[in-house]
């Protein structure tokens, strides 16, 4: 599975991805814990599914892990990023997310 610019998305990848909360749209950083293609009756090729554990840095005083994982279905809407480009606080949070 490839991201918007053709990089492979795999478990352990750090990604930037969009999210929506009510009428607010933003970007989050998170770590991919699982990648799969789910077979569904309405699409013969299946549906891409990316499970990610994200970081809340919009609504918290300090960045914190979200309490739940999210499932993304459109790999062309995410970008794999280098963890080393993140601040030390975000790097520490990413490192604390276990692989599935």
pLDDT, one tens digit per residue, over 11-57 is 999 999 999 888 989 999 999 999 999 888 888 888 999 999 999 98
100 falls within a domain: no
* C-beta separation of 89 from 76 below 8 A: no
- Inside any domain, residue 54: yes
Q: Please indicate, yes or no, if residue 2 is contained in any of the structural domains.
A: no
| pTM for the full predicted model | 0.90
Q: Show the domain range for 62.
A: 14-95
Asked, for residue 40, whether it belongs to a domain, the answer is: yes
Looking at the domain assignment, is residue 4 inside a domain? no
Residue-wise pLDDT for 47-91, tens only, equals 999 999 999 988 778 999 999 999 999 999 999 999 999 999 999
Q: How far apart are CA 46 and CA 54, in angstroms?
A: 25
Number of separate domains in the chain: 1
Question: Does some domain include residue 48?
Answer: yes
In a domain, 21, yes or no: yes
- Domain assignment present for residue 3? The answer is no
Distance CA 40, CA 51 (A): 17
Short-list 27, 96, 35, CA closest to 65: 96
């Amino acid at each position: 599975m490839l991201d918007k610019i053709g990089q492979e998305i795999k478990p352990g990848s750090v990604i930037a991805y969009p999210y929506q909360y009510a009428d607010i749209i933003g970007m989050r950083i998170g770590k991919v814990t699982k990648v799969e293609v789910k077979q569904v009756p309405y699409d013969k090729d299946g549906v891409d599914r990316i499970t990610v554990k994200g970081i809340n840095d919009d609504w918290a005083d300090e960045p914190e892990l979200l309490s739940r994982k999210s499932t993304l279905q459109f790999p062309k809407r995410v970008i794999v990023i280098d963890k080393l480009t993140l601040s030390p606080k975000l790097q520490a949070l990413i490192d604390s997310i276990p692989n599935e």
